[in-house]
Amino acid sequence: MWLMVVMSSFKATGISYLVRRNCGTYYWQAKIGGASRRGSLRTKAQSVAKARIGNAMAKAKARFESVAAFGGEGADVVTVGEWVGEWLRREVERVGIKDSTRKDYRNKSLALMKCELADIVLRKVTVKEVRDWWRKEVASVSPVTANQRLRVLKCVFSLGCKSLGILFDPVADMKRVPVPKKLKAVVEVDLIRSLARNVRSQGKSHSREAAAMIEVAAFSGMRPAEVAALRAEDFQKGWVAVKGGKEGTKNRSERLVPINPELAGVVEREGWDERVGPLFTILTPYRALVSACARLEVETVTPYDLRHFFATTCIERGIDLATVAEWLGHKDGGVLLLQTYTHVRRAHSASQAARLRFD
């Protein structure tokens, strides 16, 4: 599938071995060593491309035949773009991988297949070329996206270098770019209740569902997809079983979360103890939340802010980190909590500061 997407951006020119990419750059394309190969001629002028094609193909033939001599799985995989495709093929074939993860890997891989590194023979890539690519990536996309693409590229080069017996990996020492973190006050419980009431009052087809999802997320700490997958049977004897639906939870591990009084009130009001089957027909209350925030003229609250509220509230009430981590579905015993969920409310922070004494 990925190969078809990449190939579709090239068009024949009517000249033997010469093709043109949609962006205007000319490439040579030929069958070498039993496989279709292609390389950039680094020009948008056809006359220049025709002059370069003979020499470029001669060099490419020598390089490709040299790589083929290694044999093994990497024999027909030469350029960085081809190794990206090889890495993607192996990843999507892994047993147990989620469909959402497959889709995410494809999107990242396609982005790498379009970059300037894609047409370079992997064993010929220099540190300067990688740094030039990284500089452009950081300048053109968000830090999170850039870091994700770098992670995939590191995996690709690790696979290629290991398969081809290359000792030096030019990507191995590349560092992630820092991701700015905006300090955002934790949502107050009164605001959550106001948002849920506001959403419910809209009277639209999914207003009641969206309002209930907001409350469940805030009072259980479930991820948005986990809330959307809830069934009436999951609420039993003081506990709610978090299963995550068809694809399971994020870490494929079901867990139990105690039904606290706030959550019990939602279950009783909605009559879920008398129902069977799925509780929700929508996937997320995001749009309803954003609209409610606009109507109430408050800062936008997202479904993950509700999870953040739950975690922070638990920590403020003195619940130990290991227990909170278990309720949230973390497998690290509380390490991530220390890094992410300890930005306590300003009021709580001020009250704690008042207890500080230096005498």
Neighbour order of strands in the sheet with 26-32: 10-12, 18-21, 26-32, 35-40
Q: Could you give phi then psi for residue 92, rounded to 5 degrees?
A: -70, -15
Same domain, 158 and 204: no
Q: What is the pLDDT of residue 210?
A: 95
Spatial distance between the Cα atoms of 121 and 352, rounded to a whole number of angstroms: 59
pLDDT averaged over 10-residue windows placed end to end, the chain, 359 residues = 49 90 87 76 90 83 55 61 92 83 91 91 92 95 94 94 87 91 79 95 93 95 93 92 82 88 94 92 94 94 91 86 90 77 59 73
Tell whether 240 is covered by a domain.
Answer: yes
Residues 37 and 120 in one domain: yes
d(CA 68, CA 76): 7
CATH number at residue 205: 1.10.443.10
Same domain assignment for residues 122 and 261: no
The answer to whether residue 171 is domain-embedded is no
Region of residue 31 (left: phi > 0; alpha: psi -120 to 50; beta: else): beta
Which has the closest alpha carbon to 22: 12, 30, 11, 13?
Answer: 11
Looking at the fold, whether 232 and 100 belong to one and the same domain comes out as no
Within a domain: residue 137? yes
Q: Please check whether residue 230 lies inside any domain of the structure.
A: yes
Within this chain, do residues 126 and 228 fall inside the same structural domain, yes or no? no
**pLDDT value of residue 357:** 75
Q: How many residues does the chain have?
A: 359
Pairs from 60-67 (Cβ < 8 Å, separation ≥ 24): 60/28, 60/32, 61/32, 63/121, 63/124, 64/32, 64/33, 64/37, 64/121, 65/32, 65/33, 67/121, 67/123, 67/164
Residues 262, 123 within the same domain: no
Q: How many domains is the chain built from?
A: 2
Token readout for 243 is 């299963």
Would you say residue 172 lies in a domain?
no
The pLDDT of residue 58 is 80
Q: Does residue 91 share a domain with residue 53?
A: yes
Return the SS3 of 297. Answer: coil
Instruction: With H, G, I as helix, E, B as strand and everything else as coil, classify residue 299.
Output: coil
pLDDT at 64: 61
Q: Give the tokens for residue 274.
A: 């008398």
Residues 156 and 196 in one domain: no
Note the pLDDT of residue 33: 64
| Residue 282 placed within a domain | yes
Domain that holds residue 326: 189-353
Do 122 and 208 share a domain, yes or no? no
Contact 338, 321 (CB under 8 A): yes
- pLDDT at residue number 98: 80
**pTM summary value:** 0.63
User: What's the confidence (pLDDT) of residue 258?
Assistant: 94
173 occurs within a structural domain: no
Cα dihedral sign for 18, 21, 25, 27?
negative
- Residues 222, 151, single domain; the answer is no
Q: Assess whether 152 and 210 both reside in one domain.
A: no
Residues 215 and 151 both lie in one domain: no
> What integer pLDDT is reported at residue 358 of this predicted model?
79
